[in-house]
Structure 1
Amino acid sequence: MKVARFYAPGDLRLEDAEEPRPAPDEVKLRVRQCSTCGTDVKIFNHGHHHLVPPRVIGHEIAGEVVETGRDVDGWSVGDRVQVIAAVPCGMCQDCRRGRPTVCPNQTSVGYHYDGGFAEFLIVPRQVLAVAGLNRIPDGVSYAEASVAEPLACVYNGQELAGVGEGDDVVVVGAGPIGCLHVRLARARGARRVLLVELNRDRLDMSAAVVEPDAAICGSEVDAVDQVLKITDGRGADVVITAAASGDAQQDALRMAARSGRISFFGGLPKDRPTITLDSNLVHYRELSVVGANGSSPAHNKRALELIATGQVPVDDLITHRLRLADLPEAIRLVASGQAIKVTVEP
């Protein structure tokens, strides 16, 4: 079979490999679609401290069951499934308290286990043990199902930030995650959703698809001023920074209304992880600042339901559909910002 294996930053090889066989407590999939994301770009350029090469990468996975281990129950050949990326241990104190996204023992598909940029994939027992293999609902394509993983992360972030009925929501960053945030905020009943982006071309491309109530180009106008004008000086109920930008995080506090919630959804570069936070804004305006780290198996299941019911459409966010041999081009497209979502069919 063909696999895309990461060896070192800049060294991603399309190789022939032996077709894997599942252990008694594992499931084997034929990968039908594996979407790419900014994390794949980071791995390609810099590696990752959890990833010991060589490793098959790719973690936004949808496929078809082709074999099950003899001890596996509930799954059959031909089942259409989506695989979680972040794998909680299910046993630690955080998992037992219902917070698997902050599990200190978390492992990841495409990091600790071989991922989805391959013709076949073994779903490890750790994934099955936490109900991390989800059935794809009827009417949902493999490509759409592969987008359930990033949507699950977005769902987690909006749950933590309490996005709800009547909210004015600002999403900073018009990449695929920002687009999903716009769509999910609408599905959760937001009154208005404003999209902020520095890159004019990227803003125009994404806004044409997700149609925010306002599209604000931060390189052309003062985004904070624009948000305040649109909200009659009040600010937004929720500000989500779907960009790896310290400036965006600092501006988010100035965009927020009194009692507003700010989600630091996008992490910052490892060499620049700090910002200057105006503590008095948090104090006197009673602001809440929350983080968001990945998703749980339940979030993935919910994401598939949102796609299946049409509450969060994702098919039109997939701007490029490539084959495994074109993975370097897929990564280039993601890095360039010329695409919204790029899927790969092994």
Structure 2
Amino acid sequence: MRVARFYAPGDLRLEDAEWRPLGPREVRIRVRHCSTCGTDVKIFNHGHHHLVPPRVIGHEIAGEVVETGPEVHGGWAAGDRVQVIAAVPCGTCQDCTGDRMTICPNQTSVGYHYDGGFAEYLVVPVQVLAVDGLNRIPDGVGFAEASVAEPLACVLNGQELAGVGTGDEVVVIGAGPVGCMHVRLARARGAAKVFLVELSRSRLDMSAAVVEPDAAICGSDVDVVDEVLELTEGRGADVVITAAASGAAQEDAQRMTARRGRISLFGGLPKDKPTITLDANLVHYRELSIVGANGSTPAHNKRALELIASGAVAVRDLITHTLPLDRLPEAIRLVASGEAIKVSIEP
């Protein structure tokens, strides 16, 4: 079978891999779609401290079961359409048993610790099955859409932590695929208005044309804080979500959030520059809440699939490009350049 293996930064090879025997508690799937994301770009350019090469990368995975081990439970059978979680909690630690799986200290990841989905076939690790991380794709949901359930699950976790709800005015900073999903999920959760902020005019125009925020604000053209304050009649936004790896965005968020508003630090910062300036007086006097957001749980993935299936959060039109496995380097370039919203690989 053909796989895309990462060996070192800039060294991604399309290779033939051996068909290894299936373990008694494993499931083999035919990968139908594996979507790309900004993390794949980071891995391609810089590697990752959890990834020991060579490794088949790709973690937004949907496919169909072709074979199951004799000790696999759950009623899985050949032909079942499935989506695979990316973040794999251990399921047994204090955080996991306390319903805090997203912060499991023993978490592993598909595409990092285990071979991922940029391949024709994938053996689903026993660790995924142990935490109920293989999900049935609902009828009417295509494989490409199902592959986007993983990032949508992360978006769902972030908005739950930030308490996005009915009547909120929400600012989403970052117009990539995750930012687009934040816009749509906020609406599905009852937000009154959603504003989309982006530095790149071309990326903002492309994404705004699809998700149609109440206002599209280009940070290269205007002062973002002033614009948000004007749009909210001076009070600021109830929730600001920083869906971009930008310390400046996190600092701006403090100044555009309403009293008793919430700030979601959704996008992580570069490891060599992880700090920002926090205006503690703004937090103190406005009674602001600042929350992090780290990945998703198996349950979030299931609910993300339900949101897609119900039409509450559309994702099909966010997939602007579909490419075969041998064009994965081109897909990574498209993601890095911002020319695409979402790129899906169809092995």
Above 0.5 in TM-score? yes
- In the alignment, the residues of structure 2 paired with residue 81 and residue 248 of structure 1 have an alpha-carbon distance, to the nearest angstrom, of 36
- The question of whether the paired residues in 2 share the 8 Å contact of 1:197 and 1:203 is answered with yes
Q: How does 1:102-251 map to 2 (within 5 A)?
A: 102-251=103-252
- Letter in structure 2 aligned against 1:46: H
The secondary structure found in structure 2 opposite 1:89 is coil
Asked whether the equivalents of residues 20 and 121 of structure 1 are also in contact (C-alpha less than 8 Å), the reply is: no
1:27-46 aligned at under 5 Å gives the runs 27-46=27-46
What letter is aligned with 1:140? Answer: V
Question: Deviations along 1:67-92, whole A, 9 cap, x unmatched?
Answer: 00000122111000000000000000
Instruction: Look up the equivalent residue of 2:313 and give its one-letter code.
Output: V
The residue correspondences of 1:279-294 to structure 2 (distance < 5 A) are 279-294=280-295
- Amino acid paired to 2:300: H
- Tell me the number of residue pairs that the alignment of Structure 1 and Structure 2 aligns: 346
What corresponds to 1:317 in structure 2?
318
1:124-149 Cα distance to aligned partner (Å, 9 max, x none): 11000000000000000000000000
Contact 1:21 1:122 in 2 (8 A): no
Counterpart residue identity of residue 281, structure 2? N
TM-score by length of 2: 0.99
Give the CA deviation at 1:18.
1.2
Q: Could you tell me which residue of structure 2 aligns to residue 88 of structure 1?
A: 89
Deviations 1:144-200 (A, max 9, x none): 000000000000000000000000000000000000000000000000000000000
- 2:102 counterpart SS class: helix
Residue 16 of structure 2 is matched in structure 1 by: 16
Hey, which bits of structure 1, 4+ residues long, moved more than 3 A? none
Letter in 2 for 1:180: M
Secondary structure at the counterpart of residue 216 of structure 1: strand
Question: What secondary structure sits across from 1:267 in the alignment?
Answer: coil
Following TM superposition, by how much is the alpha carbon of 1:105 offset from its aligned partner in structure 2, in angstroms? Answer: 0.1
Q: Percent identity, aligned pairs only?
A: 81
Distance 2:328 2:20 in 1: 21
2:300 aligns to what? Answer: 299
Task: Choose 336-345 or 11-20, whichever is displaced more.
Answer: 11-20
Q: Secondary structure at the match of 1:165?
A: coil
Root mean square deviation of aligned Cα: 0.4
CA contact (8 A) 1:87 1:127 kept: yes
Q: Which residue of 2 aligns with 1:69?
A: 69
Instruction: Deviation per CA, 1:322-341: give whole Å up to 9, x if none.
Output: 00000000000000000000
Deviation at 1:300, TM superposition (A): 0.2
Distance in 2 (CA, whole Å) between partners of 1:64 and 1:341 is: 22
CA–CA distance in structure 2, aligned partners of residues 143 and 96 of structure 1: 32
Gap regions ≥5 residues in structure 2? none
Distance 1:41 1:31 in 2: 20
Aligned counterparts of 1:19 and 1:202: Cα–Cα separation in 2: 41
- Structure 1 residue 19: Cα displacement: 2.0
Shift of 1:22: 1.7
Cα distance in structure 2, aligned partners of 1:149 and 1:103? 17
Q: 1:60: how far off?
A: 0.1
Taking the aligned partners of 2:123 and 2:173, their CA distance within structure 1 comes to 37
Question: Per-residue displacement from partner, 1:71-126 (whole Å, max 9, x unpaired)?
Answer: 01221110000000000000000001100000000000000000000000000110
What is residue 265 of structure 1 aligned with on the other side?
266
Partners of 2:45 and 2:340 lie apart in 1 by 18
Separation of aligned partners in 1, 2:213 and 2:343: 21
